[in-house]
Amino acid sequence: MRALVYGAAGLVFQPTYPQPKPAHGEALIRVLLAGICNTDLEIVRGYMGFQGVLGHEFVGVVEHIDRLPGASTPLSLIGKRVVGEINAACRLNDCWYCRQGMHTQCPRRTTLGIVGRDGAFAEYLTLPVENLHVVPDEVSNEEAVFVEPLAANLEIIEQIHLRPTESIVILGDGKMGQLTAQVLTLSGCEVMMVGKHREKLALAERRGIRTYLLDDPQQFTLENGRRVDVVVECTGSAHGLEMALRLVRPRGMLILKSTVAEKSLLHLAPVVIDEIQIQGSRCGPFAPALRVLSQKLVDVKPFISARYTLDDGVAAFQRAGEKSVLKVLLKMA
């Protein structure tokens, strides 16, 4: 099969990469469309040390299922359009995390295009059947590609209780920040965004979100020195973390959404003095994400900056790394 592969030679397009074979209980999925994520860009900078086929945001069609002996694996999925949760847990009886239902924290897990499992920038991928979700007819392929990052933002609402009287600042106007803003406006909270790009901030403004253009990260403050209840850090930078601690009120909440290769040296005294809660947040629930897209509560199409074929995947990555760009899509066919 054709695939976009990261290895010792860097990121290369390979026209004859080995097609994956599903293990027992897994499905072989023909990928239709995939999205380039910031995590993919960080991997080629050294994050996680992964080598292989990148990509974890996808929509595809189930072509084959390798059934577990004696199991009633749903063959009705064959031919269906699906998206897939990216963490494949071991689900063994001796795994405490799996027994507790904490499959995304399973220490033996593989993660699509990130840890131990080839990803979605290829014509085919494999995932456990229990990871798959059928895409409703009213959700297009281009919308379905956003299910994984949208679910990651719905995880915020799963993790903390947001009161509609609370105020939230989102740091970062990129793909993650834009999705975070749309999701959190559904809570009824006052949502603000701080970013560096006027054209990206304008997208948030169209959704009724107050925006601030960032000129100097080290000096930035809200008007009248205001501090807010929740700050969601989506910049993935040390400056972003420092700013977040300046903007969150005492006993407020700081939510970390970025995965980056860069190391950070953070002065933690303000966390202790102001008794700030810090919440890491990554993968989230797919079913609500599909429901939100079906009901058109979130509009993801304005985030699509460019579309490329898989053969032009290296050029697509270069485009995705440009500051003015949001989401770049790869079409497999």
pLDDT tens for residues 56-85?
A: 999 999 999 997 666 666 678 999 999 999
Q: Is the predicted pLDDT of residue 264 greater than 70, yes or no?
A: no
pLDDT of 72 = 63
pLDDT of 262 = 58
Instruction: Please check whether residues 250 and 272 belong to one and the same domain.
Output: yes
Residue 147 confidence class, pLDDT cut points 50, 70, 90? very high
Instruction: Please check whether residues 127 and 175 belong to one and the same domain.
Output: no
- 291 falls within a domain: no
Mean pLDDT of the chain: 92
Q: Could you list the residue range(s) of the whole structural domain that residue 82 is in?
A: 3-146+300-331
pLDDT of 282 = 83
CA distance 230 to 241: 13
Residue with tokens 């005294």: 269
CATH number at residue 63: 3.90.180.10
Alpha helix segments (H runs only) across the chain: 38-43, 96-99, 141-144, 147-159, 175-185, 198-205, 238-247, 269-273, 286-294, 313-320
How is 228-265 classified by DSSP, letter by letter? EEEEEE-S-SHHHHHHHHHHEEEEEEEEE----SS---
pLDDT of 71 = 66
CA distance 194 to 252: 18
- 192 falls within a domain: yes
Mean pLDDT to the nearest integer, 39-64: 94
pLDDT of 10 = 94
Instruction: Please check whether residues 217 and 84 belong to one and the same domain.
Output: no
Q: Is the predicted pLDDT of residue 47 greater than 90, yes or no?
A: no
CA distance 29 to 1: 13
Q: Is the predicted pLDDT of residue 34 greater than 70, yes or no?
A: yes
Q: Is the predicted pLDDT of residue 260 greater than 60, yes or no?
A: no
Instruction: Please check whether residues 76 and 205 belong to one and the same domain.
Output: no
How is 127-149 classified by DSSP, letter by letter? EEGGGEEEPPTTS-HHHHTTHHH
Mean pLDDT to the nearest integer, 115-128: 97
Task: State what percent of residues in the chain have pLDDT above 70.
Answer: 96
Q: Is the predicted pLDDT of residue 263 greater than 70, yes or no?
A: no
- Whether residue 153 contacts residue 246, with contact meaning beta carbons closer than 8 Å, is answered with no
How is 153-184 classified by DSSP, letter by letter? HHHHHHHSPPPTT-EEEEE--SHHHHHHHHHH
pLDDT of 48 = 84
Q: What DSSP character marks residue 121?
A: S
CATH number at residue 241: 3.40.50.720
Instruction: Please check whether residues 132 and 162 belong to one and the same domain.
Output: no
Instruction: Please check whether residues 124 and 181 belong to one and the same domain.
Output: no
- 107 falls within a domain: yes
CA distance 45 to 57: 19
Instruction: Please check whether residues 20 and 139 belong to one and the same domain.
Output: yes
Of the listed ranges 5-19, 217-231, 245-259, 264-278, the least confidently predicted one is 264-278
Q: What is the tally of structural domains in the chain? A: 2
pLDDT of 172 = 93
Residue 259 confidence class, pLDDT cut points 50, 70, 90? low
Instruction: Please check whether residues 226 and 266 belong to one and the same domain.
Output: yes
Instruction: Please check whether residues 320 and 197 belong to one and the same domain.
Output: no
CA distance 248 to 227: 5
- 174 falls within a domain: yes
Q: Is 310 helix (H, G, I), strand (E, B) or coil?
A: helix
- 295 falls within a domain: no
pLDDT digit string, tens, across residues 207-254? 999 999 998 877 888 998 899 999 999 987 777 888 999 999 999 999
Q: Is the predicted pLDDT of residue 198 greater than 80, yes or no?
A: yes
**What residues have CB less than 8 Å from 9, skipping those under 6 apart?**
none
Instruction: Please check whether residues 170 and 249 belong to one and the same domain.
Output: yes
- pTM value is 0.91
pLDDT of 257 = 87
Which amino acid is present at 103? H
- 294 falls within a domain: no
Residue 329 confidence class, pLDDT cut points 50, 70, 90? very high
Of the listed ranges 189-198, 237-246, 255-264, the least confidently predicted one is 255-264
Which amino acid is present at 213? L
Instruction: Please check whether residues 211 and 226 belong to one and the same domain.
Output: yes
- 288 falls within a domain: no
Instruction: Please check whether residues 99 and 51 belong to one and the same domain.
Output: yes
- 293 falls within a domain: no
CA distance 23 to 14: 23
pLDDT of 237 = 78
